[in-house]
Structure 1
Amino acid sequence: MDMKKLYISIAVLSLCGLPAMAQETYENTKLVDNDLNGTARYVGMGGAMEALGADISTMGTNPAGIGLFRKSKVDMSFGLVSQQDATKFNSLGKTNASFDQIGFVYMLNKTSNSVFNIGFNYHKSRNFDQILSAANTLDNASQNKLTYQKYRKGIFTDKKSMTYNQIDNLYMENLLYNNKDKKYYNFPATGYLYNEENKGYIGEYDFNMSGNINNRVYLGLTVGLHDVHYRNYSEYTENFAPNRDNIPGLTLNDNREITGTGYDVKFGAVFRPFDASAFRLGVYIHTPTWYDLTTSNYSTMTDGNVAKPTNESYDFRIDTPWKFGLSLGHTINNFIALGATYEYADYGAISTRIKDGGYYDSWSGSYYENSHRDKAMNAHTEATLKGVHTLKLGAEVKVMPELAVRVGYNYLSAMFNENGAKNGTVASPGSYYASSTSFVNWKATNRLTCGLGYTAKNFNIDLAYQYSAQKGDFYPFMNYYESNTSSPEDNIATMTKVNNKRHQLLLTLGYRF
């Protein structure tokens, strides 16, 4: 949908009560976009090991890769992550230590034609640490003018409406109303400054069973538990144009936290089509991750006088999309390893769910919760997000029997439609509980990797470097158009180009037994 034709909806959803709620599209995306992380060998090869296997990190992608282990093994990985072009903000610096992975594979049974392995692996599937800054001019526009236009359209007349948010409430109660003439006004701004700190991680705990049949067919199953710890602090400042109340501007401070757990199941297979060849074909499927989460915020506004803060907490559910993968792998004389992987997931199919409450079954002694799909927010998600294609390429060359050199490339296509916007007028609890109007339409991600591996008897030490680059378009708020022609009532946000460039140095220590 063209942004110039994006009008504020004035649909109002009247609810009879306020049960635990769903979430907003842009907040949901923070929980579904995984990093390239794991062992240094896996990262150094761009993650293209789903058909090659025999690496603990494949437990979380293609579970059948664990079936290629011929010995038991334990790995532990840690390192540094540094954000390029960033300046320390609040409590977060540009370079931070990270504990990234620990896991093992244990061989339960081995015969000449088959093996059966079990394994466990923890890895940090998402590192939220990021500083985001943006600044630009504004022309007859402001965040509070968007709230004012909602007021003009009558959205605030129904107190049970879900088409306004906590920021709107702050503006309506502390800025827009004039006590002298008992009327509402808006305050256009000349410019804005935005700074944001994201911290935390998603930890994934994978439990795996795998094996092979006649060294030709490898099968695997992984059950994953996901542990979410996300924290965000932002400061948004606007400088107002000259106004009747002589208010120079204001600053909004927002603290948001998301915590909770989820689970998924992964199925995978690796085939050797030709008995005399090391060529392998891998396929795998991931179910959605079914998340049960809690979010809370604490938001304040000041224009010289600190307004009464707003804070809310609620529970919600998210179902991520299915993921499908196809991979190729080949080794040459135990000297060269080549891998390629393609993945697809339709992020427009992310489902937010409203929790209706639950009931206690006295007969079984169990507590059950019910939920239903948030149709309005899911429609917005489908229009805003799209399918993501992932391409992984990797190569490993043993320059000596003990020393390996690795290179890789990893590409993710853009998740956001170019004209997507955080729409605070979607008739959804996700809109009502939002405490920020800003959003970024991130574009494709390109990752370049390289690494070294050294083996001494049963020990191995691996080092990897990863450079990740992603560009995005930052908007302080959604656009509002009064009509098809230009109007003083229009509220057009000025877009700012932003980027997220990261460097990662990763070390893995391993032991075979």
Structure 2
Amino acid sequence: MKIKHTVLTVAALAAATGAFAQTSQIFAQDAIKFSTFQPGSTARVKAVGNASYAVGGDLSSISGNPAGIGLFTRSEMSITPEFNGQKTGSNFLGSANSASKSTGNFNNASVVFYNRVNTPKGADKTKGLLSLNFGLSYNRTNDFYQNAYYAGHNSTSSISDYYAQLANNSNYIDKSGHAILPDGALETMAYNQYLIDSVGANKTNPNDPYALYDSNVATGVNQAKTIVSSGGQSNFDVSMGGNVSNKLYFGLGLGFTNIRYNATKTFSESGTELYNFNTTFQSDYLVDQITKGNGFNARLGLIYRPENFIRLGVNISTPTWYNITDDTREGIATKYKTAQGMNDYSDYHSEYNLRTPWRIGGGIAFVSKYGLITGDIDYVDYTTTHLSGYDGDADDNYYIQKLYRSTVNVRGGIEARVTQNFYLRGGYGIQGSPRKDVLGDTKTISGGIGYRFGDYYIDATYTNVKNSEANATYAVNGLPTPIGNLSNQYNNVYMTFGMRF
């Protein structure tokens, strides 16, 4: 089980303005990360802002609103690769920096099998259940790739102040009267590497049996943090959709999910260390995390056409129930100008269960031979995210209740049929931030083109995604928390190649 090195108060976490202190090793942050995703879709639907609940007739319906596959009148299949470019700008203690990363992935592969329902001879072939279609799809629903860097000069605190705070909260006195620190804990590593030291008994309270610790680092340090992450979430979906009288479409879907998240985070600090005669030093706090998980969910959807050109859609997605394993290595490595370098690491293996929130959505679409206008809205209550199966899950669920909120996600787009075979598309979407104290909504602008020729089609889409976040590594009581303010920008290109058969 991963050890929680400290139980930071909600006030301290809130002071971090959107970022848990990394050293607290709280699973709540990962739980929200894995609960925030975009439905998998084709390039066409991504171009109209990923708004597809009411449109139907697109392979995106398999993983979105399954009622949409009831609108198919032929079988169809497609594949969608993606190309991604990410850039993160940062501001930390008045200093600006940036970092970037490029990658490519397989985003979507889908197939729908059209199945016309036989009607009795002489019956009205436009009434009753007309078709019952089936669909399979693979979708990449979340990307975790990021390369971020920030650096600056801190004149108010050192991470060694945080190590000393941990030591003051965790040390105990053995039978011989010596202060003992927990084996493998961060504060013990810091003590062994001369970053903190015991300053004797608590003089303000002679009856206090615990020793006091303080930082060995002189005021004024250079600090930097590097974050490199990769991986993503994907769904394999199985859906069924039916058509009733060309008016009402219904659908049911099952999803089998997968998580792969890898992250390496290094917080570096350099300055003057007082213990060894004012020698200079550099110390790195390192975290390597590998998280894997599998889960399942279900979806129920309806689309109704009150008029031929109007479609109304409703989609309900159950929580995803995950089983997750987490392997984290955490440690400190310190180099001194006048002494040999030192490093200590601890490995933690954890297994836990995650239940993500329900997702309830609706949409409207106006469709004609000249194109379409579509819009979706989602409601997600992140406070219902729930963790279980490990020591400390009650603390994490408490943090989720206190720090997160419900959000409304809005998406919309337009498709214009320019010629018989050529289409232009554009869209916009806002995904609300799950944090109560952060207004870092994710905003997406999209545009694309499409070309149809016979039974084949090609769609291309560009999306620009922007959001912001705050990242804090440590928090010391009574001192300002050093926060890296990050501005993320993702430039993505999607290509869908499809055919009807």
TM-score by length of 2: 0.82
CA contact (8 A) 1:136 1:496 kept: no
Q: Which one of 406, 427, 443 corresponds to residue 387 of structure 1?
A: 406
The residue number in structure 2 matching 1:344 is 379
Matched, 1:116 2:143: no
Which residue among 105, 109, 118 is the counterpart of 2:112? Answer: 105
Relative to structure 1, the CA distance from residue 501 to residue 42 in structure 2 (aligned partners, 3 Å threshold; closer, same or farther) is same
Q: What is the CA-CA distance between 1:408 and the residue it aligns to?
A: 0.5
Is there any run of 5+ residues in structure 1 with no aligned partner, and where? 10-21, 357-372, 419-440, 482-489
Which residue number in structure 2 is paired with residue 263 of structure 1?
296
Q: Distance in 1 between matches of 2:183 and 2:401?
A: 21
Aligned-residue CA RMSD (Å) = 2.9
Structure 1 residues 175 and 344 mapped into 2: Cα distance closer, same or farther (>3 Å)? farther
How far does residue 496 in structure 1 lie from its aligned partner after superposition?
2.6
Give the Cα separation in 2 of the matches to 1:293 and 1:8: 24
1:504 aligned onto 2:487:
no
- Equivalent position SS for 2:441: strand
Assess, with a 3 A threshold, how the Cα gap between structure 1 residues 266 and 168 changes in structure 2: closer, same or farther.
Answer: farther
Tell me, what secondary structure is at the counterpart of 1:272? strand
Q: Equivalent residue for 2:21?
A: none
Counterparts of 2:469 and 2:196 in 1: how far apart (Å)?
36
Alpha-carbon distance, 1:279 to partner = 0.4
Displacement of 1:298 in angstroms is 2.0
Residue number in structure 2 paired with 1:273 = 306
Q: Given the superposition, is the C-alpha separation of residues 85 and 378 from structure 1 closer, same or farther in structure 2, using an over 3 Å criterion?
A: closer
Q: Which residue of 1 aligns with 2:483?
A: 495
In the alignment, the residues of structure 1 paired with residue 393 and residue 50 of structure 2 have an alpha-carbon distance, to the nearest angstrom, of: 35
Q: Which residue of 1 aligns with 2:50?
A: 47
**Any idea what the Cα deviations from partners look like across 1:274-333, whole Å, max 9, x if unmatched?**
3xx32011111111110101000123321112322211111111110111001001112x
In structure 2, what residue type is equivalent to 1:325?
G
Alignment equivalent of 1:375, drawn from 394, 403, 426: 394
Choose which of 433, 446, 456 in structure 2 pairs with 1:449: 446
1:325 and 2:361 aligned: yes
Give 2:71's aligned residue: 68
Deviation track 1:372-397 (CA, whole Å, cap 9, x = no partner) reads x9222111111111112110101101
Specify which of 317, 321, 327 is matched with residue 290 of structure 1.
321
Q: Give the equivalent residue in structure 2 for 1:359.
A: none
Equivalent residue for 1:315, pick from 338, 341, 351: 351
Asked if the contact 1:300–1:306 (Cα under 8 Å) also holds between the matched residues in 2, the reply is: no
User: SS in structure 2 opposite 1:141?
Assistant: coil
Q: In the alignment, which of 459, 462, 466 is matched to residue 459 of structure 2? A: 462
What corresponds to 2:225 in structure 1? 194
Pick the structure with greater CA Rg. 2
Structure 2 residue matching 1:84: 3-state secondary structure:
strand
Counterpart Cα distance in 1 of 2:353 and 2:297: 14
1:213 maps to 244
Any gaps of 5 or more consecutive residues in structure 2? 1-7, 15-24, 91-98, 119-124, 175-181, 201-210, 336-340
The amino acid across from 1:98 in the alignment is N
Q: Deviations over 1:458-495 (max 9, x none)?
A: 001100000001122222223x43xxxxxxxx232222
2:479 is paired with a residue of what secondary structure? coil
* Distance in 1 (alpha carbons) for counterparts of 2:433 and 2:144: 18
2: CA distance, partners of 1:47 / 1:196: 29
SS class of match (1:70): coil
* Contact 1:170–1:310 (CA under 8 A) maintained in structure 2: no
User: Residue 494 of structure 1 aligns to which amino acid in structure 2?
Assistant: P
2:207 corresponds in structure 1 to none
Distance in 2 (CA, whole Å) between partners of 1:335 and 1:156 is 73
* Structure-2 residue corresponding to 1:149: 165
The match for 2:334 is 303
Matched residues in 1 for 2:450 and 2:45: separation?
A: 11
Q: Secondary structure at the match of 2:165?
A: helix
- The count of aligned residue pairs is 441
Cα gap change, 1:311 to 1:343, in 2 (>3 Å): same
Q: In structure 2, how many angstroms separate the alpha carbons of the residues matched to 1:303 and 1:312?
A: 21
**Structure 1 Cα separation of the partners of residues 59 and 275 of structure 2:** 65
Q: In the alignment, which residue of structure 2 is the partner of 1:362? A: none
Aligned position for 2:256: 225
Question: Which protein is richer in strand relative to its size?
Answer: 2
**Matched AA of 1:320:** T
Q: Cα deviation per residue 1:336-363 (whole Å; 9 max; x = unaligned)? A: 211100001011221011259xxxxxxx
Letter in 2 for 1:80: F
How far did 1:411 drift? 0.6
Using the TM superposition, give the Cα deviation of residue 104 of structure 1 relative to its aligned residue in structure 2, in angstroms. 0.3
Q: Are the structure 2 counterparts of residues 134 and 442 from structure 1 closer, same or farther at C-alpha, using a change threshold of 3 Å?
A: farther
**What is the CA–CA distance in structure 2 between the aligned matches of 1:69 and 1:326, rounded to whole Å?**
20
Instruction: Write out aligned runs for 1:473-484 (5 A).
Output: 473-478=470-475, 480-481=476-477
User: What TM-score do the two structures reach when normalised by structure 1?
Assistant: 0.80
**Counterpart in the other structure of 1:485:** none
Aligned residue in 2 for 1:79: 82
Residues 340 and 393 in structure 1, CA contact (< 8 A), matched pair in contact too: yes
SS at match of 2:344: coil
Q: Which amino acid aligns with 2:106?
A: F
Q: Please state how far the C-alpha of 1:172 moved relative to its aligned partner.
A: 4.6
Contact 1:86 1:131 in 2 (8 A): no
Tell me whether 1:27 sits opposite 2:25 in the alignment.
Answer: no
Q: Which residue of 2 aligns with 1:96?
A: 103
Determine if the alignment matches structure 1 residue 126 to structure 2 residue 159. no
Structure 2 counterpart of 1:421 = none
Compute the displacement of 1:56 (Å): 1.3
Contact 1:301 1:307 survives alignment (8 Å)? yes
Change (3 A) 1:4 1:208: closer
Contact 1:137 1:494 in 2 (8 A): no
What is the aligned partner in structure 1 of residue 20 from structure 2?
none
Q: CA offset at residue 24 of structure 1?
A: 1.6
Equivalent-residue separation in structure 2 for 1:166 and 1:507 (angstroms): 49
Deviations, residues 188-222 of structure 1 (Å, cap 9, x unaligned): 55231001111111111010011021111111111
**Does the C-alpha gap of structure 1 residues 314 and 173 become closer, same or farther in structure 2, counting only changes over 3 Å?**
farther
- Which of residues 189, 201, 213 is equivalent to 1:184? 213
